[in-house]
Chains A and B, each alone.
Chain A
């Protein structure tokens, strides 16, 4: 603690340098927080993926599934439950504002038990033909509150009367689900189905299948596909674990994120190392004085390290804080036409990694100056003829 005034004095010797270094470090850690936080989100989605669930859809694109499959698959051995969904893809007001509504049948709440909807909210979907339960993010994005109406224009989803726009009432706002990175809107399938043109009725786009034994989920997925391989609607079933595995998307986005964070750290390393080296060079005589006053070698080195660590740790803290602020407002910051990236999860782990990285940067950048100080010849240094 007795070093604190010394550290502060050292830092404040060149206020411009201290402030600029801190700002650069903070910006680098904002990026660090966003990218590593995004990876934390991928991780969470993958970890939360249930090992007893299967997503079943048409094997060949664009072919709707008859809802009768729901009953048939429910009767297969090893299947604990099946639910059906349909999707209304479209836009809100402007074709650029792309949005979709998922229409759930009565079984979804039994199969998607981990969705953060309250029993009241599931009832709201079931009991209100045109009711919607939407996520907090969707509410924010479209500026909706319970009681509002929401219209989606869906060129591909025709109503019985030929109209292509669907009007819903927002019943309530539910917690976000990380998997739905753009937010969600859940509605009532039965209402939707009865409102469609006759030829389109009884069709769904996806089935959620629950297996009774998590260790056999993959087998059951295979059995479902095998059973329908030669039917009119061949199926493709993927376990939820595999479906939500980000490494399956083609581009290794996790590594990209990490590389960006590392690039930022590299930039900061150069900056901090230079600043501290210069500061030590300028104050060589001062350090020699400290030594003559009885400061130990180690004490002086600790002083240098503390001077490097202060802007790093403070910058890391503030940077990650800024990243958290950005993440919580991401739907306001990104235009709806582009869609939002997975919202970074800024948790204790991200903060811990940031602090460790900051410490590593401080350690690396103070190593050389510390070495020079430890080899210092006090008499020469005092005479400022270094």
Chain B
């Protein structure tokens, strides 16, 4: 009999007897179900936040910030610098023949959460090409803000989290109340933010400088040209990044801590589950010792027996992981949430579920291996005599 058919026969026999060890086996299923459920629930937050950030970036755009800035709010570009930046090579031309670039503002405005808590929302100032630069921008209701007017638009996510964010509501600004004239969606992190006209906002909030310049690249390859021109210009002290890379960095900064926390908790729980798995598999092997010895006496090899034990552990773990993943998905996937100023939708994407199952299989492999070796090594005669 080939080794594969041996493994097959022993494993089938094994799985058929699982019913007799139902509750015992449930220790593995429950242990990994809980572990993977908690891991994926926590990671749904980072995955959701990453999705919101990643979709805000585009490889066709570049962002210019002050040297070393790791957030738009930390960056400051004087008006003169902005003008120099927009004259650089590598920038696409807009219909009007001018550079397809926009100097923007990124500041905060105090708002109230629906539960009454005070917080700050991100308020962006767009120049005349701010919207054209973002083809993902869609007007949802109301109208666009007009340049030079003291009015704001609000993202659809912000509307569901903050008070007084409907069209016609007023937002308190340094120079009085500004009406909300429209709502928009971009399908990314901007959905939790407000926008208005950059020049009007800058005078109202007394911001002398822009925060960033956003650029449509002439082509995807022209980043190097642009970057070289700007970083070698002694009049400027800036960092140039592809917009997609920028958001990858920002999202890493924002999710690094949460990811680490999730992985640490997932790891610690996996160790707990591993001990449970070892326990169950040792008991299973011990319960089947006569059966295993009989199989061995009939000529089955030690290897197929060992493999069947590991396979059993892996099957049970995978079932647990899938239950855990299903619960995490049902509870959190698609739910909107807030973390600091970030409003986004929690996500349990297939990749994450795959990670959870792999995580559980790893535990099963470790937890099945020792009992499997024990089963395979046990002298046949002794095991047959055992009661």
Contact = CB atoms under 8 A, between A and B. Distances in A.
Contact of A155 (B69, B257, B280): B69
Interface in A236-272: 236, 238, 242, 247-251, 256, 259-260, 263-264, 266-268, 270-271
Interface in B229-278: 256-257, 260-261, 265, 268-269, 271-273, 275-276, 278
A28 interface: yes
A23 interface: yes
B311 interface: no
B92 to A, nearest CB: 30
Nearest to A153: B68
B110 A59 contact: yes
By size class, the interface of chain B is 35 or more
B338 A263 contact: no
Given A155-B69, A277-B23, A338 B268 contact: no
The secondary structure that dominates the B interface is helix
A251 B272 contact: no
Given A31-B265, A263-B269, A266-B34, A338 B260 contact: yes
Given A267-B31, A338-B260, A341-B261, A24 B275 contact: yes
B276 A62 contact: no
Interface string A273-286: 01101100000000
B268 A60 contact: no
Contact of B275 (A23, A95, A334): A23
A102 B343 CA distance: 30
A270 B206 CA distance: 61
With most chain A CB atoms within 10 A of its CB, the pick from B37, B173, B279, B337 is: B279
A5 interface: no
Given A274-B26, A341-B261, A62 B73 contact: yes
A270 B31 contact: yes
A13 interface: no
B4 interface: no
B64 interface: no
A196 to B, nearest CB: 16
B4 to A, nearest CB: 31
A78 interface: no
Contacts of B113: 250
A24 B272 contact: yes
A132 B260 CA distance: 31
B275 A251 contact: no
Contact of B117 (A59, A61, A248): A248
Contacts of B108: 60-62
A21 interface: yes
A238 B68 CA distance: 32
Nearest to A232: B206
A278 B337 contact: no
B339 A250 contact: yes
Nearest to B105: A62
With most chain A CB atoms within 10 A of its CB, the pick from B26, B27, B35 is: B27
17 contacts: A16-B278, A16-B279, A17-B283, A20-B278, A23-B275, A27-B271, A27-B272, A60-B107, A60-B174, A155-B66, A248-B117, A249-B340, A250-B340, A267-B269, A267-B272, A270-B26, A338-B260
Interface of A: 16-17, 20-21, 23-24, 27-28, 30-31, 59-63, 89, 95, 155-156, 232, 234, 236, 238, 242, 247-251, 256, 259-260, 263-264, 266-268, 270-271, 274-275, 277-278, 334, 337-339, 341
